[in-house]
């Protein structure tokens, strides 16, 4: 069990955006002042209950919610994102060519999928191999005007 917890926290640390910073004031006041900011902020205690409700995190300890949830400002509003195994909060990768995915396909021609450790968790596409080349499958996730995967971000206010 301890190993599983360590793996979970290591995964969350990997998916956590490098731009995250700490904010100690009112997120609503900050967002009204800034309007829009792509800088991800760590979740303050005042938003834990909202994050718990928005993302169904009632079984998660408060400290873990604070470590795995971020906020940013968009149009004066507070948006929240909770990272998970495959849920990145940072900006999305919309590239249709991934060298690492091509390397996977060269070694696994015709594979029906390419693991996310090769494509990156921030890609908006699902990937497969067509012969020895990486190709996208289906429709990509929608990206908002600021470049984030829209479905992972929810308005807090």
pLDDT tens track, the chain, 157 positions:
444 443 344 344 444 454 455 556 799 999 999 999 999 999 999 999 999 999 999 999 999 999 999 999 999 999 999 998 778 999 999 999 999 999 999 999 999 999 999 999 999 999 999 999 999 999 999 999 999 999 999 999 8
Q: Edge-to-edge strands of the sheet including 69-74?
A: 37-42, 69-74, 77-82, 154-155
Strand ranges, E, within the chain: 37-42, 69-74, 77-82, 126-130, 133-137, 154-155
In the Cβ-directed half-sphere of 83, how many Cα atoms lie within 13 Å? 28
Instruction: Say how far apart CA 139 and CA 80 lie, in whole Å.
Output: 24
Instruction: Say how far apart CA 100 and CA 98 lie, in whole Å.
Output: 5
Note the pTM of the prediction, 2 decimals.
0.79
Residue 75: which region, alpha, beta or left (left: phi > 0; alpha: psi -120 to 50)? left
DSSP assignment, residue 152? G
- Element of type H or E holding 30: helix 27-34
Say how far residue 133 (Cα) sits from the centre of its chain: 26
Instruction: Say how far apart CA 151 and CA 157 lie, in whole Å.
Output: 17
């Amino acid at each position: 069990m301890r190993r599983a917890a360590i793996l979970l926290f290591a995964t969350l640390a990997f998916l956590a955006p490098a731009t995250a910073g700490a904010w100690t004031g009112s997120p609503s006041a900050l967002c009204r002042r800034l309007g829009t900011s792509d800088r991800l902020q760590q979740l303050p205690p005042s938003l834990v209950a909202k994050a718990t409700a928005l993302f169904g995190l009632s079984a998660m300890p408060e400290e873990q919610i604070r470590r795995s949830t971020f906020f940013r400002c968009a149009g004066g509003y507070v948006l929240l994102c909770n990272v998970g195994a495959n849920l990145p909060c940072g900006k999305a990768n919309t590239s249709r060519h991934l060298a690492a995915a091509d390397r996977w396909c060269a070694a696994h021609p015709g594979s029906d999928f390419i693991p996310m450790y090769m494509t990156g968790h921030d890609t908006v596409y699902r990937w497969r191999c067509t012969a020895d080349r990486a190709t996208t499958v289906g429709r990509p996730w929608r990206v908002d005007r600021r470049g984030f995967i829209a479905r992972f971000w929810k308005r807090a206010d």
